Structure 1
Amino acid sequence: MIILFRFLDSNKRVLKKLEKLALDVLALEDEYKQLSDEELQAKTEVFKKRLETESLDDLLVEAFATVREASTRVLKMTPFKVQVMGAVAIHQGNIAEMKTGEGKTLTAVMPAYLNALSGLGVHIVTVNDYLARREAEGEIGDLFRWLGLSVGMNHRELSADEKREVYKCDVIYSTNNELGFDYLRDHMVVYKEKIVQRNLNFAIIDEVDSILIDEARTPLIISGGERNTAELYKHANYFVIRLKDEEDYEIDIKTKSITLTEEGIRKAEAHFNLENLYDVNHVVLLHHINNALRANYIMEKDVDYVVQDGKVVIVDAFTGRLMHGRQFSEGLHQALEAKEAVEIKKETTTLATITFQNFFRMYSKLSGMTGTAKTEEEEFREIYNMDVVVIPTNMPVVRIDDNDLIFASIEAKYKALAEEITRRYKLGQPQLIGTVSIESSELLSRLLKKNGVKHDVLNAKQHEREAEIVANAGQKFAVTIATNMAGRGTDIKLGEGVVELGGLAVIGTERHESRRIDNQLRGRSGRQGDPGYSRFFLSADDDLLRRFGSDRFKRMIEMVNGKGDNKDAPLDFKMFSKLVLRAQRQIEGNNYDRRKTVLQYDEVLKKQRDIIYQQRTDVLFKDTIEESIDQMIFATIERIVFQHKGNFEEMSKAIHNFFGPKLVDLGILKTENDQYQYLIDIYQRDKAHKKELVGEKVFNDFLKSITLRVVDTHWVQHIDAMSELRQAVRLQSYGQNNPFREYQEVGFSMFESMVLNIQSDVTRYVLRAEVRQNTERVQVAKPVSTYSGKEDENTKRKPVTKSDTIGRNDPCPCGSGKKYKHCHGRNG
């Protein structure tokens, strides 16, 4: 109880401050009414100029007053005091909880206008394209444009060039999905001119609870599609098994690594019809060859892995146990499958992935608005650093919220529901029927058809007709069956004569596992002081109650009703409603824990992603990356010298592998006291020679092309490896191990290994590849589908666009530029 009072006091104190600022805004109303349209519109440029010496907070009162007066003139709507209070809360980076019908859309215009004055861009995030288009191209967009700001609408169908123009706008309307996908795609481009997004400055998220809570367990994934690379693995394996020991490849026992000798390289070039295996265009092919070498000559069957039921299964090196569900990373598993002639798994190439939690936390300032957020305040504060401010309604809520009716059986519930809806329909009262599932909405629809009740059914599919149906749901005789979330963002206005009938009646067919969603449904009725009614019909057979002791509920109902003719009568005791509330709170707590776990795991990948994305950004935007390439090569040379100190034969093999046979005089190297410095000097001379041949610019483009190709190749494979690791560590909990700690430790080790591999590959290519005048950067894998992949492993991923596979006439993935059938498709 003490905590509740603290919360009430805290919210009261915040509201007092907001109200003071809102009253200051309203006090300018008469003064701004005297301004001409031109004078009012000129305020925008005046504010921009003042920002050179003042802050956004300094301009808040005048900017909001400008928007209020502009709205009065353009939209014929003047924001109320409570809307101004909500606007201030949003500007301050918090969530404004405003009931349905309180005008959240217009409220968002004030903080969006103020923050857009900085020129850094404001993103207004909606739950679907329809709502984004409605605001950007409708009256709200007109209001921004009247004030001299540019407005854009970002959607999937736009080309990269069109998106780039949209992101230059002062205010952008977009869905959360499209913003996230654009961010990921921007970190896959190979030229900085291809980037579409600007900085992530300020986001206002409409229906913030839906996007940041309900969708928080759904990572965004960009996929290169399932690649039919089985043939490439087979061809690499076919080549490798015909090589001769010592003559064609060398094994470093200490590091368990294997490389082709000069003779092996010559044979590879002849077999695959290439001029230079180490050309930057053959990264993918070389990677497959290296994996085939490791699979055949390093990995041992029944030691490192076993073949069981036609599958390659890893053997734990420490315990000797089979590690079902685990997979060797970076294509090694597929190489082993090729070696053992079992079915080669298709590679589901995840090119990029991010959770909404981590994406939206990258904004400099984040805010939101919704009708229901207070129940999740702890999560908003802990994860997003946003407080929830409950804004009072403009007019008192007079809606009647009746106690839940609880039935012993689902049949009794639906019979009573149909009778209640039919009774109100005959009176002409509009009704919104909220269901939890598509099945229940269709069952109820069949019952209403039998009763002759005309109705619309919305199964939560986001389309334009949905908003249209919901908008008309307040007319006489309108009966709308909708999943609880349908139609968010659209006001239900009452038709003529409906007030006298008691306003809109909202009937819930069962309780959702989240109180917030029930409140959202209930809040569709009773907007702006309108009358309204709400009630939920429950049964002991509902999913929610089944999870918390359905039999107990049935016994309690039987105790009250008995088993005679009265057995189907409902109960509406508050005690039962409290039990339901307790069940909801428990499930909300469980769901919060699961979302925190998702974030916890993604934090590990986020740190790695930040490093890789920063490296890519440096490559794209820096004039020269010579210094960072030098550091990579110095580190690789130091590693070679250190690992093979005292074993000149092994060192010379490694040197040959990186430098080739011509650059290093092994006789001199053997007598050198400082072998590291000798190799560095050779590299510096080779670099100077290449720069002299092609010039500074071409050489730098060559370095950038190599780095991007190598980094992207390894990063794409690392993402998949981390995904496999996460699936595997779930099994650790059965062995009393901490799965997250295992994920952290193994993931860190895998990342370190990847970084070393990137350094080694960059070194090898810089030293061995020929510099061409027309070095063109090529994406390692182009995205062909984007989807939100459910965190739950039982949920199928649904592509938004069709994934591509490699056909016989498609370009070969080895990068040779030839068609697949001519390069690697000889047998198929």
Structure 2
Amino acid sequence: MLAVIKKIFGTKNEREVKRIRPYVGDVNKLEAELQQLSDEALAAKTAEFKKSIVDATAELRSALEELQQEAQGGDAERREELKAQIEEADKALREAENDCLEELLPQAFAAVREASRRTIGLRHFDVQLIGGTVLHEGKIAEMKTGEGKTLVATLPLYLNALTGRGVHLITVNDYLARRDVQWMGPIYHKLGLSVASIVHEASYLFDPTFLTKDYRYLNLRSISRQEAYRADITYGTNNEFGFDYLRDNMKFSIEEYVQRELNFVVVDEVDNILIDEARTPLIISGPAEESTDKYYIIDRIIPKLQRGAVIQGDPNQEDRAAIEKQGDYTVDEKSRSVTLTESGVAKVERLLGVHNLYDPRQIDTLHHVQQALKAHAIFKRDVDYVVKDGEVIIVDEFTGRLMPGRRWSDGLHQAVEAKERVHVREENQTLATITIQNYFRMYKKLAGMTGTADTEAPEFKKIYKLDVVVIPTHRGMVRIDHPDVVYKTEAEKFNAAVDEIAERHAKGQPVLVGTVSVAKSEHLSRLLKEKGVKHNVLNAVNHEAEATIIAQAGRYGTVTIATNMAGRGTDILLGGNADFLARSDMENEWISRAAKLPVQGAGRYEDALRELREKYDEDVKKAEARYRKDGEQYEQQRSDALKRSTELQRQIREISPYREARQRYEDLSATALIEALHNMRAIPDGFLRAKQEFERHLLSDNGSVEGLDAAFAEARQEFDQALEQWQQRNGDRSQFAEVLDDKRRNYEQRAIDMEFDKALATLADGEHAELVQEYTTVHRAFEEAETHCEEIRKPYEAAIQEAQRNYENKRQEYTRMVEEIREQLDKAPDEYRQRFDEILTNYTKTCAEERERVIAAGGLHILGTERHESRRIDNQLRGRAGRQGDPGSSRFYMSLEDDLMRIFGADRIQGIMGRLGMEEGVPIEHGLVTRAIENAQKKVEAHNFDIRKHLLEYDDVMNKQREVIYSQRREVLKAESLKEQVLEMAVGLNEDVVARYCNKEDNPRDWDWPGLREGMHHQFNLRLDLKPEEQDSLNYDDLCELAEKKFTEVYEDKERRFSPPMLRQLEKIFMLQTIDTLWKDHLLSMDHLKEGIGLRGYGQKNPLQEYQKEGFEMFEEMVHKVEEDVVQKLFTVEIAREAAPAAAVPPIMSMEQPRPQRVVLSHGDEAIGPGRSDPKKRAADKVGRNDLCPCGSGKKYKRCHGR
């Protein structure tokens, strides 16, 4: 029935396209008229369009400006009222402007088409006009590869730029942001609009009169970032736009802001940016003081743990319980998580010397162990990341491309660095962050274009309120998509794939083979090499040769193996790309002339890179083979001995004579001591007595400290001193709590180790002598096996490092040389034009001839070796064939051992296979299997969508708070005076101080007058000295009014002494500094809250609601703290007196100013800023970074004067 209805009325997409076609007819009617116009008359059309918009919206614009002018003055309450009215007026103005654009659409599109024809020689097809209309309406246009998305974008960009509000186009990389402006710039310039390009650390304006010897920047004049955003149209990457937004909201002057309003944006490759990148936040980070040694220490214990079962799919509770009893940790592939088993926890505690890994005070240690386990068990080299130039670089799981500068968060990247034995970079603290999702949702109108969006249409609709419209192709699609072929094992699948590749290669049909990782692409390459099939490999390891390899991929008989890199942004032309091939030959001619090559006789650039990689892989294999031969035996011995000694250690602790005393101490340490530290109170006597009792038992044999282990004696002395200092402190103990906890941790570790050693000695002569003897023997066996493992591993690691060093050095030398040659060719192509034209003429003829042969052979064949988790990525790979009506075909080869099948569809698909009678080595093609695979993909897509939706729901909480803070910052920057706001905050704080020390219901004689005096002095620098008779005569309201009057007088006096301009400046500085500092701390607190909030589910509470509730409470506390700090700083600041005439820089204020801090832009943690230098000290007086600061603050030296 539904099919019949669709046949009669058409699908929703067909109806949408049909609705738009009349616009296309209107544009076509204007074509002949515009062709008659002169260049000047055509350019004048833009001014005509702009004037019509201004005239139609004049009244609304005037009303908005009046409201904005009124909002500059008035009190806070009136400003709030006007704020809502301004929003409504702006909305009405935008709607009116959009109505004007709807009327102008045919004329504007016709003008763009004519300008394009005159400047770059391209005329928009009708289907491109449909695509442009869809984008203007704020929707997503799905357009197949080769249909001209770059040209389509010029239509809505020009139309929406007519309002003067600025429009943006988001590209996937800097190269396209620059190239597209150079390519499309003449169209905009012909029509009188300015267009700019924003790339990393540079901005350019398109100027056809600007000439340079460097051809790469032809017609691109360097400008400031602010000027680039002032252009009518701005091209750039999502990272640059997002980071500019964050940077703007950290600035101390509104004049320094570079971005203007976020009006209209067209996102190219919208599925990649809004879906694939949605889980990755943009982060500006600064230094956090954490040692990197812990990563190496924890990484060393991971190989000593035994991997248990791998959880696939969704096992029931009983199966999961059984699985979790195997090995030291289990791996859940679906959720990409690792869980320690009971035996694993015991081993980790033993290896790290931690008594209780799940003690709340060991939460950091547990976190780092879990991240190290994930680094070893989940994250695979040459799949999830590559090691290049001594760095761990993430591989984009969707595109297969490297993502330098991006880092995993929460210590995971550091754990992978420790695993790979490269330099571990410090963790950083977030200063500002926003997700890609929430950045683009701030635009008033959002549109996007891509070749594959329809499968994700529900997500686009739900998250971004974007409809997807599939645009018809200019020529019909004739690609043949063959059914999937499924094998039982991966080996069978690859063998069959190799056979088909060889068969198609023999008849001359070009084949593009898609793989999901670097490792799989290189495995398939080895199989083809054994078969004698010549081929090229393109992956993240040799991405430098991407353009050259893709240029050849459509040539007669060419076989290309590629990761997902070849799935996006690359056109494969049948017969080859003559221009790229000529360029490649030019490069290789110059390479061959180089005096010294790191790879002799390699031939072409891509061949040299492949040979280098093959040599490296061979060296690594040899080293691994040597290690396996000698090391596996000792590894097993070590694992067995560790397991048994851990169990014996647990038994001995259970029967230790000191167990009860230790248990009492541990119980009170985990309760009474922690509660005292948390509440900043004196430590209870019960804990101190339990500590003394435990020590008495430890000292029972010798009765004095002299016989104690030196390490324990030192730890005990330091802990006692810290406890004594804590008890003596009557004021704020908050900064001292961390020091005391560090000393406590060190003391307990030493004490528990000593207690175990004493237990061994005590039990050795009694009824448990055999147990002690067995432990001693097993422990010795563990140490011997450990020694053997280390001895064997050292030469293995040295061999691996040497192979890596040789490979990286030669690859760097080779790629550097090629980049220099490319730069020469790019900078001044005219110098090499004659030789290039000769090569190009030959290739143009050759490629045209090969094109006919390739078409006769069936066009480009796509062979997928594995289904991706998302159907969209599969469609991208398929989309490489059948470009612009060319013939082509595709087929996917799969096995039951593929990740998708194992994790998400194994049981169901295996059941189908069994019913169909599947035999080893025999493939199966059946509708049931295809549907089961699609269902598995849909299940994964739903799973990933839930993750993104879940993250968005949590980030929405932060987003609302971010909007409030950034809005408040802007208001502070725009305000001429904050005096009224400061005094309003002071009034509220005054009531808080009075309420804290004076109960309204009590007699004034019972109020805490000394506390009130101290509170007023602390908050307002106000001496509220009242005589007893004055105190008795005041009621609560009178006291509030008196205090308000006095602190207002104090502030007025300060204004006279400082001068109003200086105090206005200080108000702004203190307000901004305080907001920024506390916002940074709040971001960290919210991260910590989010990490543990999921556990609330076990208490039958909704974690999201709990996060919203507590996040709001924390935000309110932060806002209140901002008010407290700002008021306190402003009331206590004084002009500093110059201490000596020799001072190099005259001081301005006595309040300490925060030092500048180098910030890092990334998708995770990155580099560290400079520290503060200390006065010179004698060597004997040197203070350790973790010692108490000599200044007496109670802080660690590194957090005080050691900064």
State the TM-score bracket (shorter-chain normalisation): 0.7 to 0.9
Consecutive unaligned residues of structure 1, counting only runs of 5 or more, are 231-306, 316-320, 327-344, 790-796
2:863 maps to what in 1? 507
Instruction: Indicate the structure with greater helix content.
Output: 2
Match of 2:108 among 63, 66, 70: 63
1:552 and 1:648 map into 2 onto residues whose CA distance is 74
| SS state at 2:236 partner | strand
Whether 1:761 aligns to 2:1117 is no
Distance 1:21 1:322, change over 3 A: closer
Q: Is the 8 A contact 1:525 1:533 kept in 2?
A: yes
1:824 and 1:732 map into 2 onto residues whose CA distance is 33
1:203 maps to what in 2? 265
Whether 1:648 aligns to 2:1008 is yes
2:199 and 2:1012 map into 1 onto residues whose CA distance is 55
Match of 2:959 among 606, 617, 636: 606
Deviation at 1:32, TM superposition (A): 1.2
1:340-381 deviation per Cα after TM superposition (whole angstroms, max 9, x unaligned): xxxxx9873110111111110000110001111112112111
1:771-816 deviation per Cα after TM superposition (whole angstroms, max 9, x unaligned): 5896799777645322224xxxxxxx6x4xx33363757999x9x9
Deviation at 1:324, TM superposition (A): 8.5
| SS state at 1:53 partner | helix
Whether 1:626 aligns to 2:987 is no
1:781 and 1:632 map into 2 onto residues whose CA distance is 28
1:664 and 1:481 map into 2 onto residues whose CA distance is 84
| SS state at 2:904 partner | coil
2:550 maps to what in 1? 470
The 5 A counterparts of 1:440-479 are 440-459=520-539, 465-467=545-547, 469-479=549-559
2:1057 maps to what in 1? 693
Match of 1:523 among 879, 890, 896: 879
Whether 1:752 aligns to 2:1116 is yes
| SS state at 1:28 partner | helix
1:804 maps to what in 2? 1169
Q: Is the 8 A contact 1:313 1:324 kept in 2?
A: no
Which amino acid letter does the alignment assign opposite residue 277 of structure 2? E
Deviation at 1:13, TM superposition (A): 2.5
| SS state at 1:118 partner | coil
1:589 maps to what in 2? 942
2:277 maps to what in 1? 215
| SS state at 2:866 partner | coil
| SS state at 2:1021 partner | helix
Match of 2:571 among 488, 491, 495: 491
1:301-349 deviation per Cα after TM superposition (whole angstroms, max 9, x unaligned): xxxxxx976998379xxxxx999979xxxxxxxxxxxxxxxxxx98731
1:460 and 1:229 map into 2 onto residues whose CA distance is 31
1:660 maps to what in 2? 1021
1:787 maps to what in 2? 1162
1:733 and 1:323 map into 2 onto residues whose CA distance is 24
Distance 1:457 1:145, change over 3 A: farther
Deviation at 1:738, TM superposition (A): 2.0
2:1143 maps to what in 1? none
| SS state at 1:547 partner | helix
2:288 maps to what in 1? 226
Whether 1:375 aligns to 2:455 is yes
Q: Is the 8 A contact 2:358 2:366 kept in 1?
A: no
Match of 1:126 among 159, 164, 171: 171
1:75 and 1:777 map into 2 onto residues whose CA distance is 59
Which amino acid letter does the alignment assign opposite residue 190 of structure 2? W
Match of 1:721 among 1085, 1105, 1116: 1085
Q: Is the 8 A contact 1:690 1:771 kept in 2?
A: no
1:41 and 1:464 map into 2 onto residues whose CA distance is 42
Deviation at 1:448, TM superposition (A): 2.3
Distance 1:823 1:482, change over 3 A: closer
Distance 1:34 1:224, change over 3 A: same
1:69 and 1:592 map into 2 onto residues whose CA distance is 43
Q: Which sits farther off after the overlay, 380-389 or 597-606?
A: 380-389
Match of 1:364 among 444, 448, 466: 444
The 5 A counterparts of 1:308-387 are 313=360, 348-387=428-467
Structure with the larger RCO, 1 or 2 (CA within 8 Å, 6+ apart): 1
Which amino acid letter does the alignment assign opposite residue 924 of structure 2? L
Distance 1:467 1:52, change over 3 A: farther
Deviation at 1:487, TM superposition (A): 5.1
| SS state at 2:13 partner | helix
1:476 and 1:748 map into 2 onto residues whose CA distance is 64
Distance 1:518 1:779, change over 3 A: farther
1:656-687 deviation per Cα after TM superposition (whole angstroms, max 9, x unaligned): 21123547657656744411111221222222
- TM-score, normalised by the number of residues in structure 2: 0.55
2:427 and 2:1117 map into 1 onto residues whose CA distance is 21
User: How many residues are matched?
Assistant: 710
| SS state at 1:511 partner | coil
Distance 1:435 1:555, change over 3 A: same
Match of 2:188 among 141, 144, 151: 144
Match of 2:143 among 94, 98, 113: 98
Which amino acid letter does the alignment assign opposite residue 44 of structure 2? A
1:635-660 deviation per Cα after TM superposition (whole angstroms, max 9, x unaligned): 11111112322323322221121123
Q: Is the 8 A contact 1:484 1:521 kept in 2?
A: yes
Q: Which sits farther off after the overlay, 510-519 or 484-493?
A: 484-493
The 5 A counterparts of 1:134-213 are 134-136=179-181, 138-158=182-202, 162-213=224-275
Which amino acid letter does the alignment assign opposite residue 254 of structure 2? K
Whether 1:403 aligns to 2:483 is yes
| SS state at 1:51 partner | helix
Match of 2:1068 among 692, 695, 704: 704
Which amino acid letter does the alignment assign opposite residue 1160 of structure 2? S
1:486 and 1:807 map into 2 onto residues whose CA distance is 48
| SS state at 1:733 partner | helix
Which amino acid letter does the alignment assign opposite residue 1012 of structure 2? M
Consecutive unaligned residues of structure 2, counting only runs of 5 or more, are 57-99, 204-221, 293-353, 369-424, 576-850, 1000-1006, 1137-1146, 1177-1184
Deviation at 1:423, TM superposition (A): 2.2
2:117 maps to what in 1? 72
Q: Is the 8 A contact 1:205 1:367 kept in 2?
A: yes
1:256-309 deviation per Cα after TM superposition (whole angstroms, max 9, x unaligned): xxxxxxxxxxxxxxxxxxxxxxxxxxxxxxxxxxxxxxxxxxxxxxxxxxx976
Q: Is the 8 A contact 1:460 1:486 kept in 2?
A: no
Which amino acid letter does the alignment assign opposite residue 103 of structure 2? D
1:824 and 1:221 map into 2 onto residues whose CA distance is 24
> What's the C-alpha RMSD, in Å, of the aligned pairs?
3.5
1:601 and 1:462 map into 2 onto residues whose CA distance is 38
Q: Is the 8 A contact 1:808 1:825 kept in 2?
A: no
1:440-490 deviation per Cα after TM superposition (whole angstroms, max 9, x unaligned): 112112222333434333335897753554354323333332223545223
Q: Which sits farther off after the overlay, 439-448 or 723-732?
A: 439-448
Distance 1:70 1:460, change over 3 A: farther
Deviation at 1:570, TM superposition (A): 1.4
Q: Is the 8 A contact 1:190 1:777 kept in 2?
A: no
Q: Is the 8 A contact 1:227 1:804 kept in 2?
A: no
2:863 and 2:169 map into 1 onto residues whose CA distance is 32
1:777 and 1:377 map into 2 onto residues whose CA distance is 54
2:763 maps to what in 1? none
Distance 1:777 1:432, change over 3 A: farther
1:439 maps to what in 2? 519
| SS state at 2:1122 partner | helix
Q: Is the 8 A contact 2:863 2:890 kept in 1?
A: yes
Distance 1:482 1:627, change over 3 A: farther
Q: Is the 8 A contact 2:357 2:366 kept in 1?
A: no
Distance 1:189 1:581, change over 3 A: same
Which amino acid letter does the alignment assign opposite residue 360 of structure 2? V
